[in-house]
Every structure is written in C-alpha cells, then in structure tokens.
Amino acid sequence: MSDILFSLDELSIDSIRDGERRRIVDHVSLAVRRGELYGLVGESGSGKSISMMASVGLAASGLEVAGGTVRFAADQRPAADQKGLRRNLSRGVSLLFQNAKGALNPFMTVGRQVERALRQKRRVRDLAGEVDNLFRVVGLSWRDLGRKYPHQISGGQAQRVAMACALATEPALLIADEPTTALDVTTERELLRFLARLCVEREMAIVLIAHNLSLVSEYCRSLSIMHAGQVVEEGDLKAIFARPLHPYTQGLIRAVPDVDSPRELVPLVGSVWGGPQGIERCRFSHRCPHRRPDCDRGRPAAVDRDGRAVHCVLYEEVPA
C-alpha cells in the first residue's frame, strides 16, 4: 500500500459574519495517497472548496479554522497555522481553479506566465526548452499560443496553460477545484482524461473537487462525499457506486438525470442548511427519509463497510 501523502484530520472551520459564528466545515478527515486521483464531491455549501483552500493556508477572511491538523509529506501542523500551511504551496502543492482565464494574469502572455512559474522552482538551464516542453505536456503548442494573452485563447486552452503553470514546480499534490465546470462537455472530458494520465505518469496525487458524482466516476479511485460541511461517505469509488450506503449518496444518484434513459427523477427534499442549528448532529437528517432521534444526538461516527466508510447511524448498530 502506497503511503499517505496528504491528509486532513478532524478539520473544522467556522464562518464569522456580523459577530455570529457558524460551523461550515465539521470535523472533516481525508487521506490521499501518493499518485492517487482522489475525488471530493459535494454541492455548493458542502465545504469542499473551503476545506481544501484552508488546508493550504488560503482560508478566506471571515473564516476561522476551529481545529484539526493537516499533514503534507513530512510536515504536520495544526490547521490553524494558516501561514505555515501556505509554505506548502512552494514545496510541492499546486492549485488549479475553476475560472482559468481569471486565474491567469491578463497583462502577461501565456508563455511568459509559464516561464515565471518555472523560474519559481529552481534554476532552469534551458528555459525556452522547458517552457516548450511544458506546453507540449499539456497538449498545446508554444509556437501557436505562447505569445497570446489569456483573453485571446479559449477556456479550455486557458485551463491547460494554468495546468502548465501548476506542473512547472513538479508538485507532488495538485488540488484542482472544479477545473472543468466552466467548460464544454467535450473539452471537459479531454481535460479530465489528461489529468488522469498525468496522475499515473508523474505519480502525482490529485484532489479533484467536483460538484457532481458523475464527473468523478470515470477517473477517480477513491472519493469523499460531503454535505453541509460533513463527510458522509468516503472510500473506494467502485464500492460506493456499486452499492451507495449513505442516504445522501443514494439521493444524489437518484436525483441526477441519466443520459442513457429517461427515468423519473427523485429529487432530494429540503435544502442544505435546514434542520436544527447549533448542535452536533448529522447535517443531512432533516432531508433524510430514514431519519430517527439518534441522528440529532451527535455527529455520526465513521463505520467501515466493504472498502468504504459511511457516516450514518443506520449502519452503526448492525455488526460489520
């Protein structure tokens, strides 16, 4: 078993607004192995992006890390040490964002931006050659695009340039926050396939943050599903999809239209933030068809089942 490269342990984050404190990430844990393509799935408000941004010291202002530890390679520190965590960004962690054109500098040619990214890592002997190579790695041609500005290239190309910049520092971990959401389906597919290949070729771990399950199904081996700041189900993707155990996972699958059949949709009821506030509970209970009093008595513990862990009281009583 390959070792764990990156892990979150009981990460909790509060948002402070108008003097009020709300817990938006609730004791989240996950572990990513070297060279693994890990999916982190949740809808907006699930805390998936916030958790990962906080894990590299980029928690937005107005957010306060309330607890937990982050481990990256040999470095382990409390998640509250945002400044210390930010150093990981120059030590082997790279980021990819949703809006690639927005993440690139509009006043610099794309070639120059990749150049700068390369220079950050170490002394480079053949800069031009390395830049050209990186472009080729991401499927672009420096000769065609190198001198263009971000607004002159397409969204898919911009995302590839962003990838080149991210890869320039030869990261061990790439955090990709919904990198294909703004792209066409056909372009999305190309990029995701490319990411999956990179993962294998460079033994680079990738955390792929996505807003729906179908996106990760083809590419990830392990996955965590989040709802309202809590992890509800996590582990081997095939096991989860073969038999989804958590009511939220089941609900998600039933609520998404199927391209191959016109079957009826069964929407999830309620909204992400409903239910009793301010107590430790399963935050899906107010939407759950199997709700019972136990659900509001505390955070459900993780129960191991067939290669994945599910956080639900339904599975706590029955012996594994």
In this structure, the strands spanning 37-42 and 205-210 are parallel
By beta-carbon proximity to other proteins, the closer residue of 259 and 318 is 259
**Does 253 interact with other proteins (rule: CB under 8 A)?**
yes
How many other C-beta atoms can be found within 10 angstroms of the C-beta atom of residue 119? Answer: 13
**Does 262 interact with other proteins (rule: CB under 8 A)?**
yes
Q: Which of 35, 45, 67, 84 binds other proteins (CB under 8 A)?
A: 45
**Up-side HSE of residue 139: CA atoms within 13 Å toward CB?**
16
Provide the H-helix boundaries in 125-171: 127-137, 142-145, 155-168
C-alpha span between 264 and 259 (Å, rounded)? 12
**Does 256 interact with other proteins (rule: CB under 8 A)?**
yes
Q: Count residues contacting other proteins (CB under 8 A)?
A: 55
C-alpha span between 129 and 163 (Å, rounded)? 17
C-alpha span between 68 and 26 (Å, rounded)? 10
Binding mask 47-76 for other proteins (x = CB under 8 A): --xx---------x----------------
Q: Which of 148, 211, 221, 291 binds other proteins (CB under 8 A)?
A: 211
What's the closest the beta carbon of residue 169 comes to other proteins, in angstroms?
27
Label residue 255 left, alpha or beta by phi (over 0 means left) and psi (-120 to 50 means alpha): alpha
Residues 3-32 touching other proteins, rule: CB under 8 A, are 15, 17-20, 22, 24
C-alpha span between 161 and 177 (Å, rounded)? 15
Binding mask 110-129 for other proteins (x = CB under 8 A): --------------------
By beta-carbon proximity to other proteins, the closer residue of 45 and 67 is 45
Binding mask 269-288 for other proteins (x = CB under 8 A): --xxx---xx----------
Residues 132-171 touching other proteins, rule: CB under 8 A, are 154, 156-157
Which string of DSSP letters, residue by residue, matches 223-252?
EEEEETTEEEEEEEHHHHHHS--SHHHHHH
By beta-carbon proximity to other proteins, the closer residue of 188 and 296 is 188
Residue 224 near residue 302 (C-beta atoms within 8 A): no
What's the closest the beta carbon of residue 157 comes to other proteins, in angstroms?
7
What's the closest the beta carbon of residue 320 comes to other proteins, in angstroms?
26
Sheet holding 302-305, edge to edge: 93-96, 173-177, 205-210, 37-42, 222-227, 230-236, 308-311, 302-305
Q: Which residues bind other proteins (CB under 8 A)?
A: 15, 17-20, 22, 24, 43-45, 49-50, 60, 154, 156-157, 178, 181-190, 211-215, 217-218, 241, 251-253, 255-262, 265-268, 271-273, 277-278
